[in-house]
Each structure stands twice: as C-alpha cells, then as structure tokens.
Amino acid sequence: MPLPNRVRPDATLIADPARGLLFGNRGGRFHDPASRSPPTRLFASRQWICCVLSFKERRRQVWGRFYTELFFCDEVTALAAGHRPCMECRRGDALAYRAALVRGLGLAEMPLFPEIDRLLDGQRREGRRKRLHRLAAEALPDGAMIVEGEMSEGARFLALRGEQAWVWSPAGYRERVARPAGTVAVLTPPASLAALAEGYRPLWHPSAGGPVDAVPGA
C-alpha cells in the first residue's frame, strides 16, 4: 500500500502509487515512523521545499526518521501547495525563483530564504486550511493553479498554461479544457505567482502538452 505522502495542489496529503517528478519536505518530521498512518498535522516548520528525486546518491527509508518525505506530480503542484525550490539540491532553480520573486514584488533588497518562507507561510494557509486567493484569471501567469467549486476530496484542480487549463491528477494531467475567465480561486501563493509572472519556469509534468523544463535528479 502506498504511503499518504503524495501532495495535492491544496497541500493535503493522499495515498497514491504515482511517484511524481519531485519530492520534498516541510522542515522536519510530522509523521509517526512506527504506524506510518496519515499524520494529524501537515507540516513541521515554515520551510516547505521541493527537491530532485536523486541527489549525491543519498539513500533514505521513506517516512523513517528525521523528516517526512513528500512527493509531487510536478513543480506546478508544489508551488500551488506552497513549496519553493530547495537551495541545496536545486540551487540554480532556488536562486532563479528568488530573483523572479524580488522583481515581481518590487522588493528593494534580496531576502534570505527564511524570510521568503515566512512570506509564503502567511499566503498558503489559514491555520490548518489552505488559503485561497480570489483573482482575475486573465491576469494569472502560466503555472498558476486554481480550484473549481468547493475545496473537498473530489475538487477539480486546473493548471493554467497559455489559452488552456490542464486537469490535475497525482499521475499527471488528465485532459485539456478551456482556460477559465473572470474571478477564480487561486491556490498558488501570490509570491510564487509574482515569480512565475517574472519568468520563473517551473518543472511541468510532460502530460501537460509539452516537454518538461528540467530533468529531475540531473
């Protein structure tokens, strides 16, 4: 049976056999290594990162000691959930993300990553619930993720790309639909939207109509 460590765009965790393109953590351990049952909380600190699947030949027992490993369909999913690129295993991506964020937000100084983590933490959640941002669909950059209808187990998540939207699943995007118009419920935190608008290129799952932008583990 798969562990409940696959991340949905709304930051909740599910059990699914799909591995995804990236993995990450939320600053420490919040699962029980003995039972490996669904955790009662969803994070250990404000540091929510997304990482490559392979780095310097490191090997770990998933959901063992130290931290709770999580898996993402792609980086579009990770950004929607409130994660950012890891500075250790994805240094180039992390620096590009920060630089684009600074341009997008018009910041006068380059923030340290703990400052970015604090900013994202205030934008991605309201207590234990996912924070939604009501914004005009026409103004959203490629890579933004929205949710249709009520936030629930059966919610439909849409990733925006060009004139289209892609219906999310843990294993990839199931189908292409028309890009919504008007005010929509956005999952991706505004700081990450700013980075996307300023040219940060997230890793897309290849099912979204084109090549991915990076090779996980490279």
Range of the domain at 39: 6-197
What is the C-alpha to C-alpha distance for residues 190 and 101, in angstroms, rounded to an integer? 10
At 66, is the pLDDT very low, low, confident or very high (cuts 50, 70, 90)?
confident
The structural domain count of the chain equals 1
The predicted-structure confidence for 93-108, as pLDDT tens digits, reads as follows 999 999 999 999 999 9
What is the C-alpha to C-alpha distance for residues 146 and 188, in angstroms, rounded to an integer? 7
**Residue 215: pLDDT over 70:** no
Q: Are 97 and 26 contacting, i.e. CB atoms less than 8 angstroms apart?
A: no
Q: Are 44 and 68 contacting, i.e. CB atoms less than 8 angstroms apart?
A: yes
**H or E element, residue 85:** strand 84-85
163 in any annotated domain: yes
Lowest mean pLDDT among 5-14, 50-59, 180-189: 50-59
Q: What is the pLDDT of residue 216?
A: 46
Q: What is the pLDDT of residue 127?
A: 87
The closest of 115, 114, 189, 206 to 146, measured between CA atoms, is 189
143 in any annotated domain: yes
pTM of the entire predicted model = 0.92
Q: Are 39 and 27 contacting, i.e. CB atoms less than 8 angstroms apart?
A: no
Cα distances from 176 to residues 28, 161, 172, in angstroms, run: 36, 10, 12
115 in any annotated domain: yes
Q: What is the pLDDT of residue 58?
A: 66
55 in any annotated domain: yes
**Residue 209: pLDDT over 80:** no
